[in-house]
């Protein structure tokens, strides 16, 4: 028995199938197809081989089928610039300039030849745009090309959009040493333990205020306020002046007046000759000053004191200070804490290890002991405030938690904002919570959350303090960068000295005076982590998944007599996500007839029978037929068995 495999994406289908008589066309000689965008149909430009009167052939020509994709044929060569001149510095955002996440920026110092990388993040992606992909990474090709000159990686803080890519990409450019602070270092190492096969990291712990020499380049770290402790920015010394990179940050302030600590930090930076300031734009679409964390703590403290029943607080596990504050207040009031969610447990362990959290052993109790205490003595700290399907809070809300069942005396605080893209999930969560008759407090109803990123009032203040010649908004979608740029410009900063980044953009500052952006970019297409594989984004694979999600699949199984070219029996059809077969008997019968006819026509006079050729032909005809009849383009997979 000879089973012919289904056509792979690399094979180029015949544009003009030949029928009968002569030898079949060699599959390898077929011209490659253009690489079209998803969902785009091929235009009827190729008229060769069309048989008058055959509707399916017509459609076949205009139909772009998803299962016959080829790779890009007119791929331009990647661009890699020469090393930057000795009197210049170069900045290349490799990720994070067109999205929130996968932050990574490379800086090349002309005088020393050193390349230093700032942050190695990843980004979670939505199921809709990239089905099956777990997360995407910054493109590291430029660093791989220049690996010998990459002297170190600075990690500004422990959020995943700044450390998430480390296990996947560090070895691609020689696993250079990582410079970061204590807590961040522990968080990086914790994650690393989940990937035992990757090369060991060299982490050099630093403190803010400290100056280290990376390669031959001096880098000084300064403390910044953010939603995770031990966040820092970096000031990089070059002969032309300093480049200041903010990391994620906001300002600690009282009604718009920066705290003394902030004044000191930023005042210190202002004394240097700064040529370039790169700053966090994430919250730049909001004006004024963000809510200070102090107020959030006061509000939460008030709630913990006054609530009479059980209190359940949903928050981000990375909100160390907030969780610590909640636990301390609860302990003071003689309440017991229950923690739910692995990331919260892990991070509280880290907090204890680093000395951030000091509590009595008996304060934290296991969930099964809840019944041993009166409800007003219980505070539950849980993950899942973003409506994540399998997180603890959703399980509690949907009766799937072993030990916690909600009732109308419970108060629930969602101490987080809604991350864009999670709106529907959070709505579902709130609905499920309200079904229990609980009292719900969230950031819209009360100051129970503050962002970790500064509003424009804060950003403009920082920019003035740094007083650099050039400015680049960074970390965020273009709208955020644009609002940041506008605010800075309106504060009197010269417009021509603001540069808008794209991922892969090469920005050279010559003599600290002139800014030059290259026309071409270094490779910046995201790399994906898909289950256990990492690699360049496999557009073909993603597109197949999108097509499957959209129009489903249509599998044809037929046994062909290799001597006569006739079918052994009526073909089998399996379809998923396309149409409901039981109600489409008419369509199915016609499809079966067409399959039989196409196979038998294709094999007529063919000797020996080339099943690959028949299969391509069959795919084209059936895809055309289905599209004509249903206006859908399912992935057609013929399985021909030669007997």
- Max Cα-Cα span within the chain: 91
Region near Zn ion per CB under 5 A, out of 172-180, 244-252, 301-309, 596-604: 244-252
Using the rule CB under 5 A, is 159 a contact of Zn ion?
yes
Residue corresponding to tokens 């992606």: 125
Q: How far is the CB of 157 from Zn ion (least distance, A)?
A: 6
308 HSE (CA, 13 A, CB side): 2
Smallest distance, Zn ion to C-beta of residue 248, A: 3
**Residue (121 or 642) nearer to Zn ion, CB:** 121
CB of 419 to Zn ion, least distance (A): 12
* Whole-number Å distance between alpha carbons of 211 and 213: 7
For Zn ion, which residue of 99, 248, 262, 620 counts as binding (CB under 5 A)? Answer: 248
Q: Is 610 in the site for Zn ion (CB under 5 A)?
A: no
> Which region, judged by CB under 5 A, interacts with Zn ion, from 39-47, 248-256, 343-351, 603-611?
248-256
Q: How far is the CB of 166 from Zn ion (least distance, A)?
A: 15
Measured from the CB atom, the residue of 110 and 454 that comes closer to Zn ion is: 454
Residue 85 carries which DSSP code? P
Closest CA to 415 of 342, 311, 341, 345: 311
Query: Toward Zn ion, which CB reaches closer, 230 or 578?
Result: 230
Give min distance, CB of 161 to Zn ion, in A.
Answer: 6
Minimum CB separation from Zn ion for residue 379, in Å?
26
Instruction: Measure the CA angle with vertex 129, ends 126 and 132; round to 5°.
Output: 70
**Residues 308-337 as x/- pattern, contact with Zn ion by CB under 5 A:** ------------------------------
Q: What x/- string results for residues 193 through 232 when contact with Zn ion is judged by CB under 5 A? A: ----------------------------------------
Show the tokens assigned to 21.
């008589």
Three-class DSSP category at 417: coil
- The residues in 565-594 that bind Zn ion, with binding defined as CB under 5 A, are none
Residues designated catalytic = 280, 453
> In angstroms, what is the minimal distance from the CB of 225 to Zn ion?
11
- Decide whether 230 or 277 has the Cβ nearer to Zn ion: 230
Inter-helix orientation angle 456-466/260-270, to 10°: 40
The burial class, CB within 10 Å (0-12 / 13-18 / 19+), for 18 is middle
- Compose the 446-465 pattern: x for residues touching Zn ion by CB under 5 A, - for all others: --------------------
Find all residues with CB under 8 Å of 295, minimum gap 6, and list them.
447, 450
Q: Over the range 474-502, which residues count as b (16 or more CB within 10 Å of their CB) and which as e?
A: bbbeeebbbbbbebbbeeebeeeebbebe
Nearer to Zn ion, 56 or 246 (CB): 246
Closest separation between CB of residue 438 and Zn ion, Å?
31
Nearest residue (CB) to Zn ion, 122 versus 627: 122
The three-state secondary structure class of 311 is: strand
Q: 80: number of CA atoms within 13 Å, CB side?
A: 10
Minimum CB separation of residue 185 from Zn ion in Å reads 16
CA distance 305 to 298: 11
Strands (E), 249-389: 253-254, 257-258, 274-280, 311-315, 336-340, 378-382
Residues near 335 by beta carbon (within 8 Å), at least 6 away in sequence = 304, 376, 377, 378, 379
Minimum CB–partner distance for residue 415 and Zn ion (Å): 17
Exposure b/e, 350-362, CB count within 10 A at least 16 = b: bbeebebbebeee
Q: Which is nearer to Zn ion, 186 or 548 (CB)?
A: 186
Q: Which stretch binds Zn ion (CB under 5 A): 117-125, 154-162, 474-482, 570-578?
A: 154-162
What is the strand order of the sheet 533-536 is part of? Answer: 123-124, 135-137, 527-530, 533-536
Burial class (CB in 10 A: 0-12, 13-18, 19+), 601: middle
Rounded CA-CA distance 254/172 in Å is: 45
Tokens of 295: 């107020």
Q: From the CB of residue 571, how many other CB atoms can be counted at a distance below 10 Å?
A: 22
Interacting positions 4-43 with Zn ion (CB under 5 A): none
Q: Per rule CB under 5 A, is residue 620 in the interface with Zn ion?
A: no
Q: Which stretch binds Zn ion (CB under 5 A): 96-104, 119-127, 246-254, 510-518?
A: 246-254
Nearest approach, Cβ of residue 187 and Zn ion (Å): 12
Residue 112 or 282: the one with the smaller Cβ distance to Zn ion is 282
Where helices occur in 159-292 by DSSP H, the ranges are: 160-163, 166-169, 182-193, 260-270
Which listed range, 155-163, 373-381, 386-394, 483-491, lies at the site for Zn ion (CB under 5 A)?
Answer: 155-163
Kindly determine how many residues on this chain lie close enough to bind Zn ion according to the rule CB under 5 A. 2
Say which residue the tokens 């973003």 belong to: 386
Calpha distance 116→110 (Å, rounded) = 12
End-to-end CA distance of the chain: 5
- Which is closer to Zn ion, CB of 142 or CB of 475? 475
Nearer to Zn ion, 329 or 344 (CB): 344
Q: How would you classify residue 132: left for phi > 0, otherwise alpha for psi between -120 and 50, otherwise beta?
A: left
Closer CB to Zn ion, residue 151 or residue 159?
A: 159
Cβ proximity to Zn ion, 159 vs 545, nearer residue: 159
**DSSP secondary structure code for residue 213 in this structure:** E
Measured from the CB of residue 271, what is the shortest distance to Zn ion in angstroms?
27
Quick one: tokens of 79? 């661009």
Q: Do residues 562 and 642 lie in contact, with contact meaning Cβ atoms separated by under 8 Å?
A: yes
User: Where on the chain is the footprint of Zn ion (CB under 5 A)?
Assistant: 159, 248
């Amino acid at each position: 028995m000879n089973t012919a495999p289904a056509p792979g994406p690399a094979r180029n289908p015949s544009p003009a199938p030949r029928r009968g008589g002569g030898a079949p066309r060699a599959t390898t000689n077929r011209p490659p197809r253009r690489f079209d965008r998803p969902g785009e149909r091929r235009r009827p430009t190729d008229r060769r081989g069309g048989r008058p009167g055959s509707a399916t052939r017509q459609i076949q020509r205009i139909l772009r089928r998803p299962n016959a994709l080829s790779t890009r044929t007119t791929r331009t060569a990647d661009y890699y610039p020469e090393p930057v001149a000795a009197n210049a510095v170069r900045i290349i955002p490799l990720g994070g300039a067109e999205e929130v996440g996968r932050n990574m920026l490379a800086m090349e110092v002309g005088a020393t030849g050193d390349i230093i990388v700032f942050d190695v993040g990843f980004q979670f992606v939505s199921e809709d745009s990239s089905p099956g992909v777990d997360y995407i990474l910054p493109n590291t090709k430029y660093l791989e090309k220049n690996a010998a000159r990459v002297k170190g990686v600075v990690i500004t803080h422990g959020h995943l959009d700044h450390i998430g890519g480390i296990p996947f990409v560090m070895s691609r450019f020689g696993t250079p040493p990582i410079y970061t602070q204590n807590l961040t270092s522990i968080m990086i190492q914790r994650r690393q333990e989940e990937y035992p096969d990757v090369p060991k990291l060299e982490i050099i712990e630093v403190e803010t205020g400290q100056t280290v020499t990376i390669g031959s380049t001096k880098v000084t770290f300064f403390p910044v306020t953010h939603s995770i402790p031990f966040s820092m920015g970096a000031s990089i010394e070059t002969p032309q002046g300093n480049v200041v990179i903010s990391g994620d940050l906001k300002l600690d302030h009282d009604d718009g007046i920066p705290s003394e600590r902030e004044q000191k930090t930023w005042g210190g930076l202002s004394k240097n000759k700064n040529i370039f300031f790169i700053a966090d734009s994430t919250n730049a679409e909001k004006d004024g000053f963000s809510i200070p964390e102090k107020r959030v703590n006061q509000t939460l403290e008030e709630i913990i004191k006054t609530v009479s029943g059980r209190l359940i607080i949903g928050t981000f596990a990375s909100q160390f200070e907030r969780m610590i504050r909640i636990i301390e207040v609860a302990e003071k009031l003689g309440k017991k804490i229950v923690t739910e969610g692995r990331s919260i447990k892990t991070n509280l362990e880290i907090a204890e290890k680093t000395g951030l959290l000091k509590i009595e052993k008996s304060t934290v109790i296991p969930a099964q002991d809840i019944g041993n205490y009166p409800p007003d003595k219980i505070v539950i700290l849980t993950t899942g405030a973003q409506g994540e399907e399998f997180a603890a809070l959703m399980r509690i809300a949907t009766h799937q938690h072993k030990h916690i069942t909600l009732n109308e005396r419970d108060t629930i605080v969602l101490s987080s904002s809604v991350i864009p893209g999670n709106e529907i999930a959070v709505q579902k969560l709130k609905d499920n919570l309200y079904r229990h008759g609980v009292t719900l407090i969230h950031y819209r109803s009360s100051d129970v959350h503050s962002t970790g990123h500064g509003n424009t009032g804060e950003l403009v203040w920082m920019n003035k303090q740094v007083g650099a010649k050039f400015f680049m908004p960074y970390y965020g979608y273009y709208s955020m960068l644009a609002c940041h740029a506008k605010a800075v410009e309106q504060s009197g900063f010269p417009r021509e000295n603001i540069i808008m980044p794209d991922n892969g953009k090469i920005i050279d500052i010559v003599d600290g005076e002139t800014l030059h952006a290259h026309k071409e970019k270094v490779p910046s297409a995201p790399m994906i982590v898909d289950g256990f594989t990492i690699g360049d984004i496999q557009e073909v694979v993603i597109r197949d998944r999108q097509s499957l999600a959209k129009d489903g699949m249509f599998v044809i199984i037929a046994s062909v007599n290799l001597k006569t070219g006739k079918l052994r029996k009526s073909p089998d059809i399996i379809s998923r996500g396309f149409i409901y077969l039981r109600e489409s008997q008419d369509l199915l019968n016609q499809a079966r007839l067409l399959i039989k006819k196409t196979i038998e026509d294709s094999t007529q006079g063919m000797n020996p029978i080339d099943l690959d050729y028949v299969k391509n032909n069959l795919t084209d005809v059936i895809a055309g037929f289905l599209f004509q009849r249903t206006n859908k383009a399912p992935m057609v997979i013929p399985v021909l068995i030669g007997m």
